[in-house]
Amino acid sequence: MSTLNFCRECNNLLYPQVDRSNQVLLYACKNCNYHEEAAHNMVFRNDLVAVSKEQPGVIDKLMTDPTMPRTNEHACPACGADEAVYFQDQSKRTFNRMTLFYVCCSCNKLFTDAIEDPEINA
């Protein structure tokens, strides 16, 4: 976890700076000439978490959004109503086909057009 470092002389924020001649990372004050060597050579770390499965995201009140596309071609597996709003799966993939998520306008049930997915169509 990264922490903020403050100058011991003027209490201003210390900024990362590279000392190229000695090949070390320093934290330096922009207000005075104070600097200190960094305890670690990493300033920032950004961990990306890969999502391996389709996730529909927020679906509350999606059927009331007038900008959402609608269809009458897919019946809801829960109530049988044929009007639904739909949206595309947001994950990036190169080998699987695109998945469309449908939200029933009658019962707010989420379902897909994919070949039986027991976790989503349950």
Annotated binding-site residue? 105: no
Residue 42 φ/ψ, nearest 5 degrees: -110, 125
HSE (side-chain half, CA atoms, 13 Å) at 76: 18
67 vs 94: CA distance, rounded Å = 28
DSSP state, residue 26: E
120: burial class by Cβ within 10 Å (0-12, 13-18, 19+)?
middle
Annotated binding site for Zn(2+): 7, 10, 29, 32, 76, 79, 104, 107
Annotated binding site: 7, 10, 29, 32, 76, 79, 104, 107
